[in-house]
Amino acid sequence: MKNPDVLRRVVLLLVLAAGIGSAYVYRDHISVAALEQWLGQLGWIAPLVFIACYAIATVFFMPGTLFTLAGGALFGPVFGVLYNLAGATLGATLAFLAARYLASDWATRHTGKRLQQLIEGVENEGWRFVAFVRLVPLFPFNVLNYALGLTRLRLSTYVVTSFIFMAPGGAAYTYLGYAGREVAAGGEDLVRKALLAIAIIATVAFVSRIVLHLRRNRAA
């Protein structure tokens, strides 16, 4: 390994460590209300700043649900979904690439036999595995992004599949954020919007259980 490459990896690792540490220290200062207040003052550039912040938050292990709810509250149920998916996908891609750049070679050489079999199983499943873990949140979203970067999954497969199969959950929580703001503001049709938000979340949870059940039957 060449020295410049070692230096780049060390710098990237330090940036990640500093970002994750800062996110942990200031986690109590970040809320949906704080994001709404700050982004609401940025005008036309707010969506771009929001997407960038969502991506950075994903890389630094901040809770994505918080940003998803804020996206729904700020931008509504349509544009909110688009901006949330853009930010989440961009952040997931950056984490995937960071893990691949920092540790994929090391993981290939040093993983044990059982872990290597697991990695090969993920690689053989390809887009189906990515679709499954995006639909059924068995693993923490931020951890999963880095873990998948240690495999040899194609970047295009990872990005496209993540975007598509994160959409149902993203849409559900975006609408929940939108409905929550409408309820708090005393908008029209409050009961209908609240019930619809609950129904969407319940539907996504139900679909996730069905997908998990089908996968277990297939494995059996």
- Please check the confidence at residue 168 and state whether its pLDDT lies above 90: no
* 123 exposure class (CB count in 10 Å sphere: 0-12, 13-18, 19+): middle
- pLDDT tens-digit profile of 102-146? 876 665 555 555 556 667 777 788 888 888 888 877 778 888 899
The domain containing residue 28 runs over which residues? 3-219
- pLDDT tens-digit profile of 28-58? 888 888 888 898 888 899 999 999 999 999 9
Percentages of the chain per state (helix, strand, coil), in multiples of 5:
85, 0, 15
- What does the H/E/C string look like for 18-49? HHHHHHHHCHHHCCHHHHHHHHCCCHHHHHHH
pLDDT exceeding 90 applies to what percent of the chain?
30
User: How many structural domains compose the chain?
Assistant: 1
Q: How confident is the model at residue 201 (pLDDT cuts 50, 70, 90)?
A: low
Q: Are 145 and 92 in contact (CB under 8 A)?
A: yes
The overall pTM is greater than 0.85? no
